[in-house]
Amino acid sequence: MRLRRRSLTIGAAVVLASAAAAMPVSTATAAPATRQAAYADASATWGVPVGVLLAVSYLESRWDTNRGAPSTSAGYGPMHLTDAAGLAASAPAGAASAHVDAGEDPRGDDSRDPKTVPAATAGAGGPALQTLDRAAELTGASEAALRTDPVANINGGAALLAAYQRDAGGPAGAASDPAAWYGAVAKYSGADTTDAAAAFADEVYATLRDGATRTTDDGQLVTLTAQPRISPVTAWLDRLGLRRPPARPDGLECPMDISCEWIPAPYEQYGPGAGQYGNHDLSDRPSRQRIEYIVIHDTETSYDATLGLVQDPTYVSWHYTLRSADGHVAQHVKTKDVAWHAGNWYVNAKSVGLEHEGYAAQQGAWYTEAMYRASAKLVRYLAARLAIPLDRQHIVGHDNVPGTVPSTVKGMHWDPGPYWDWSHYFDLLHAPFVQFGTPRTGLVTFDPDYAQNQLPFTGCTGTADTPCPPHGSSSVLLRTAPAADAPLLSDIGLRPGGGPATMQVADHGARAAAGQTYAVADRQGDWTAIWYLGQKGWFLNPPAHPAAKWSTGLVVTPKAGKATIPVYGRAYPEAAAYPAGAPVQAITPLQYTFAAGQRYALGGIVPGEYYRATTFAGSSPGDWTVIRGQNRYAQVQFGHRVMFVNLDDVQILPSFLP
Backbone torsions φ then ψ of 85, nearest 5 degrees: -65, -45
Give the pLDDT confidence score for residue 122 in this predicted structure: 55
Angle (nearest 5°) at CA 154 between 150 and 160: 145
| Helix (H) and strand (E) counts in the chain | 13, 28
Residue 227 is which amino acid?
A: Q
Residue 375 is which amino acid?
A: S
Give the pLDDT confidence score for residue 129 in this predicted structure: 78
Chain CA centroid to CA 161, Å = 28
Is the bond into 416 cis (omega within 30 degrees of 0)? yes
Are the CB atoms for 476 and 548 separated by under 8 Å? Answer: yes
- Cβ count near 477 (within 10 Å): 21
Give the pLDDT confidence score for residue 120 in this predicted structure: 60
DSSP 250: T
Are the CB atoms for 103 and 54 separated by under 8 Å? Answer: no
The span from the CA of 59 to the CA of 468, in Å, is 25
Q: Give long-range contacts, CB 8 A cutoff, 24+ apart: 436-440.
A: 436/551, 436/552, 437/549, 437/550, 437/551, 437/552, 438/550, 439/520, 439/523, 439/550, 440/656, 440/657
The span from the CA of 185 to the CA of 165, in Å, is 8
Between strands 564-565 and 554-558, the pairing is unpaired
Are the CB atoms for 593 and 587 separated by under 8 Å? Answer: no
pLDDT tens string 70-99: 998 889 999 999 998 887 766 655 444 445
Beta-bridge mates of residue 446: 548
What is the CATH code for 246-417?
A: 3.40.80.10
The span from the CA of 413 to the CA of 398, in Å, is 6
Torsion sign over Cα 413, 416, 421, 425:
negative
10-residue averages of pLDDT along the chain (658 residues): 34 38 50 94 98 98 93 92 81 50 74 73 60 97 97 98 96 97 97 95 97 96 98 95 91 96 96 92 97 96 91 95 96 98 97 94 84 98 98 98 95 93 98 94 97 94 88 96 98 94 96 98 98 98 96 98 98 97 94 98 98 93 95 98 98 96
Are the CB atoms for 89 and 270 separated by under 8 Å? Answer: no
Are the CB atoms for 161 and 46 separated by under 8 Å? Answer: yes
Give the pLDDT confidence score for residue 15 in this predicted structure: 34
Fold observed for domain 2-83+131-240: Lysozyme (1.10.530)
The span from the CA of 428 to the CA of 446, in Å, is 18
Contacts of 578 (CB under 8 A, 6+ apart): 584, 585, 610, 627
Give the pLDDT confidence score for residue 624 in this predicted structure: 96
Domain ranges, ordered by start, for the chain: 2-83+131-240, 246-417, 564-654
Entry pTM? 0.93
Residue 568 is which amino acid?
A: Y
Are the CB atoms for 569 and 643 separated by under 8 Å? Answer: yes
Give the pLDDT confidence score for residue 322 in this predicted structure: 97
The span from the CA of 409 to the CA of 427, in Å, is 31
- Cβ count near 328 (within 10 Å): 29
CA-based nearest residue to 176, from 221, 236, 238 = 236
Contacts of 144 (CB under 8 A, 6+ apart): none
Between strands 517-524 and 527-532, the pairing is antiparallel
Are the CB atoms for 605 and 579 separated by under 8 Å? Answer: no
CA-based nearest residue to 62, from 564, 430, 541, 421 = 421
